[in-house]
Amino acid sequence: MPHLARCKIRNCGYIKESKSGFCYECEEYPCKRLKHLDKRYRLRYAMSMIENLDSIEEAGLEAFVEHEKSRWRCAECGGVINVHRGRCSSCGYSRIDSRVAD
């Protein structure tokens, strides 16, 4: 079974029934599961799921996506820096500081 199919956050009943499909609409936001995931991503990848969701709620999805496109763009080839590996998916350029929040 693929990881996404088992993801308890993705499969949360509230998210499936919400208007936007985002956790920030839930009364329990941020829930225990999301806080746990957020802590792990902050430590491993220097990014925050909760900050991302707050940004989407405040500025909208389009503005968030535009910001993230520039944040994770490879300085060498213009490809995408993989948040999990800290490397460009196109050219392999390693940008150690690419995971530092803007």
What is the rounded distance in angstroms from the CA atom of residue 101 to the CA atom of residue 41? 12
Mutual angle of helices 32-45 and 49-59, in 10-degree steps: 110
Residue count (the chain): 102
Rg (CA), the chain: 15
pLDDT per residue as tens digits for the range 11-40: 776 666 777 778 898 889 999 999 999 999
Q: What angle do CA 63, 22, 88 make, to 5 degrees?
A: 55
pLDDT reading at 72 higher than 50: yes
Instruction: Give the mean pLDDT of 58-64.
Output: 96
Indicate if the pLDDT at residue 66 is higher than 80. yes
When pLDDT is averaged across residues 49-62 and rounded to a whole number, the result is: 96
